[in-house]
Structure 1
Amino acid sequence: MVKKAIKSLQVGGKEMRTGTLKQILLITDGCSNQGEDPASIARIIAEQGITVNVIGILEETQTEESQGLNEVEEIASNGQGVSQIVYKQALSQTVQAVTKQAMNETLQGVVNKELQQILGNTRSMDELPPEQRGEVMEVVDELGETCDLEVLVLVDTSASMTNKLPTVQEALIDLSISMNARIGRSRFSIYQFPGRRKPIHQLVDWTSKLESISSIFAKISTGGVTPTGPALKEAMHQFGKKSLKRRLFHNEYTDVEEA
């Protein structure tokens, strides 16, 4: 009964199987030093149904308590996402793991809310009998494979990230391969910050594959301040612009058909 009911889960007003999970993946190595507080912006983004995940990259001489990396956990916590601090050698596996973990935690959160409605009390998935809990986790795993996923990758390209960008590039190519092995549709976009005249600059528009990323990363120039808060705010707006473009294209196409 529980498993059957859970399969009708909805997210964003749509059945989960046809809904889309949205994530921002922030890759950075230091503390923001310009603009709004990034943790506060992350909370606003989470309220829009977009999870904010953060990966902090350490230098060989740094420790996890280094100044600036404490901000990583705070941003992810406010953004209802996952945070991880790693040395650059482990970045590739970490990017994949963080993206998948955030997806599963989002799905489990939706499942818990649905369970409370189904069972008519405050019971959560952890309080179910083992057999029913196992059934629910099967559904979560299945949804993780079949739901659509959109990930906007936000890469810190301030001066201190110069020697880390080749590793970031490799990690994102690996992420593309692993996410496209899913049944559900996966789409990516990549932005750097700071931009030339704006907080962020688009490197890759929404796409399902990242084959062209090598040539794009070769042209990136690093330097400048680290406006993490303004960059996150602009990243949030890119999801809305994508939907707006689709609507405009659809309306334009419809007008042509009618004409």
Structure 2
Amino acid sequence: MSQKPAPFALSDLRRSLAEAALRAAPAAIGRVTFGTPALDEPLGGGLARAALHEVYAPATADLAAATGFAVGLAIRAAGQRPILWVRQDFVDAETGRLHAPGLTELGLDPARILLVRARDAEGVLRAGAEAARCSGLGAVLIEPWGEPRLLDLTASRRLSLATETSGVTTLLLRVAAAQAPSAARTRWLVRPLLSRGLEANAPGDPAFNLRLLRHRGGLSEREWCVEWNRGRQSFEERRLDAAPLSRPLVPLPADRPAALGAPDSGLRRTG
């Protein structure tokens, strides 16, 4: 049976968000660039910063790639501000917990993450809405599991209005879910690509197949192949002549369900 989050959890989150808002300057405005003209130019300079964006993993096996893409966007949106990540417990049980060394491989210091776990979709949406209103954050990632009834068009509108008011980029990461009506500014479908080989057969940069499914600015559906450059902390268009490794590779390892009782090394929990 689904249980509601304990009352103190939301109050702790509110206190943490209030402290973040006091420490931070006003939220940035404008757009979040990808760092490559191949994406930025068609999108009019990148993604709207003060907006809700959806990132879909078409299958559970694609979640690592979708997560890596969302993390890259969060890094570029946040600058030096903290990133708040709201995750439903069931995602941990099905796919494994976030792993700090994997985030480091993407160029994200785990100490910058405020990690909030919620038992159910209601808790995820409540915490996500609170976070989206906080102008002291750099980005918010909201990760429910599946197709919760509460995550409807009305709920997405609340999230959209919250981020438009605060100016904080909010990313809704969806797995095991069909596409549904939403107030999100853009919707992306992400699959992994084979990484290109480096010298001495070292692991290559994570590579993604991106399909833009929806763009409220009128851009039609289109597709890109990109890599994430950790050093530059930017996306780069995938070279067609790049020699791939023998398997998809996204450096975002996760602890398996057997480790659910262990603490998250380097990740700060709120609530």
TM > 0.5 fold call: no
TM-score class normalised by the smaller sequence: under 0.3
Q: Higher Cα Rg: structure 1 or 2?
A: 1
> What TM-score, normalized to structure 1?
0.27
Structure with greater contact order relative to length (CA < 8 Å, sep ≥ 6): 2
Quick check: which one's strand share is greater? Answer: 2
